[in-house]
Structure 1
Amino acid sequence: MLNFRRLNKRYFYTMKAQLLPEIETFLLCPTPEGWIEQAKLKENESILLIDHANCEKKAAFTALNLIVRYTELGDLQYKLSRLAREELRHFEKVAAIMKRRDILYAYLEAAHYAKRLRHHLRKPEQERLIDTLIIAAFIEARSCERFYRVAPYVDEELSTFYLSLLKSEGRHYQDYLALAAQYSPTPIDERVTFFAEIEKEAILTPDDEFRFHSGATA
């Protein structure tokens, strides 16, 4: 019989060696320890799963919205249609876990994280597209880092599930960043640096409610 804990541990260290150094360089700070302590609490399990499901739906919506809005961009159409399908499959998997645990959907107000990033979207159409793609890259990278951070502290089923998401979340961050570079008429480095600081501030700002993308609760 397979030892899932041993497999998870092996996968954990493999992903740390292969993927996390790049993402930890891209992000300017790790997830606060205060958030991890909140995520470890059994009473927050339902909130974490419900908000995770919501995040997967929103990620699919973001990709689909870009496909509808920018029909003339062929590579964007192809990459984001695949990404949207993958996000919806992730949503279905979260929903299945919730069903097995008798966790019912309940209204959860979204974290302020994405709003803090999108507050800085530029208004001209092309610049807005580039900013949207860069912001999406940061959200995917933070999701990947957060799954990695919380995986050692949850039960076997959730740990296995979260670790299984690392590769796809990492690829999504890379796809969004590559599309931003492809469609920008100028190098995106300065804008990436700008949003890296905004993302750091967003993730370190205390929040009143625990959510998947919240900072440590105040």
Structure 2
Amino acid sequence: MTLDEVMAEIGEFLGCETPDAWIEVALQQQELMLIDHANCEKKAATTAMNLLYRHIDRDDLLKKMSQLAREELLHFEQVVNIMNDRGIRYRHVSSSRYASALREQVRKGGHNGVDELVDILIVGAFIEARSCERFARLAPHLDPQLEKFYRSLLRSEGRHYQDYLGLARQYAGGPIDERVETFRALETSLILDPDPEFRFHSGTPIAA
């Protein structure tokens, strides 16, 4: 698939676009956006590594998650380098409600842990898809260095979305439409509902 086709697919997969109000705040708080972006890349690598350790008997998963973890750590390094160029100190910031709220809906166990694995993979697909959508929405409004970097992330983040969703379908042993719709509804509410805290995956800024 071309990048345009992947982005169109992501647009259909997600239940909504990022609100303009979030874009406005992100542009006003680029330091915080970059710090949390770095955190998101590090967490994405950790998620992939956890799947590697827990599912050593699934060859396709091992291959895709090892590649994903390497790419996410490279992205983390790239974000930190951009921050250093701009005199931004990497520091701790609290996590947003986004990922934790999605993971709260993950089923536990199931036959050989398949239900739990499928849900984790679907959550991963939504996180990667939303990241990709936000990079694309932000890029035209950024300075040339950051615009170029965010556009460069689209292809890999789009592939990560496809890998997660493809693995979910592969391991489910049947349709996953119902589970995808469950998470789509939740993800949409997390993006559109008022959110008192700005983060890379936060909802509509409450001040807006």
Q: Tell whether the structures are fold-level matches, with TM greater than 0.5.
A: yes
Q: Could you tell me which residue of structure 2 aligns to residue 5 of structure 1?
A: none
* Deviation, structure 1 residue 118: 0.9
Residue 30 in 1 paired to residue 30 in 2?
A: no
TM-score, normalised by the number of residues in structure 1: 0.90
1:30 to partner: Cα distance = 0.1
Quick one: distance in 1 between partners of 2:197 and 2:122?
A: 26
Q: How many residues align?
A: 202
What residue in structure 2 maps to residue 207 of structure 1? 195
Determine whether 1:130 maps to 2:115: no
Query: Who is 2:73 aligned against?
Result: 88
Pick aligned residue for 2:134 from 146, 149, 155: 146
Write the deviation string for residues 57-90 of structure 1: whole angstroms up to 9, x where unpaired: 0000000000000101111001100010000000
Q: Indicate which of 29, 37, 45 corresponds to 1:52.
A: 37
- d(CA) in 2 for partners of 1:107, 1:83: 24
Task: Check conservation: 2:42, 2:73, Cα contact below 8 A.
Answer: yes
Shift of 1:105: 1.3
Shift of 1:134: 0.3
State whether residues 169 and 175 of structure 2, in contact with CA within 8 Å, keep that contact through their aligned partners in structure 1: yes
**Contact 2:15/2:184 (<8 A) preserved:** yes
Please tell me the residue identity of whatever aligns with 2:189.
E
CA deviation map 1:94-139 (0-9, x unaligned)? 0100111110012210110111111111012211100000000000
The residue aligned with 2:175 is 187
- Distance in 2 (alpha carbons) for counterparts of 1:189 and 1:93: 35
Q: Percent identity?
A: 55
Instruction: Give 3-state SS (helix, strand or coil) of 2:205's partner.
Output: coil
Alpha-carbon separation, structure 1, partners of 2:34 and 2:200: 8
Partner of 1:114: 99
Q: What amino acid is the match of 1:157?
A: Q
Unaligned runs of at least 5 residues, structure 2: none
* Inter-partner Cα distance in structure 1 for 2:91 and 2:42: 15
Matching residue's letter, 1:18: E
Report the equivalent of 2:26.
39
- Indicate whether 1:217 and 2:205 are aligned: yes
Displacement after TM superposition at 1:181 (Å): 0.7
Counterparts of 1:105 and 1:94, CA distance in 2: 10
Task: State the partner residue of 1:156.
Answer: 144
When normalised by structure 2's length, the TM-score is: 0.94
Q: How far apart are 1:198 and its partner, in Å?
A: 1.1
Asked whether 1:21 is paired with 2:38, we answer no
Hey, what's the Cα distance between the residues in 2 that align with 1:185 and 1:214?
33
- The reply to whether residue 97 of structure 1 matches residue 82 of structure 2 is yes
CA distance in 2, matches of 1:130, 1:74: 16
Provide the aligned C-alpha RMSD in A.
1.1
Structure 2 CA distance for aligned equivalents of residues 110 and 130 of structure 1? 24
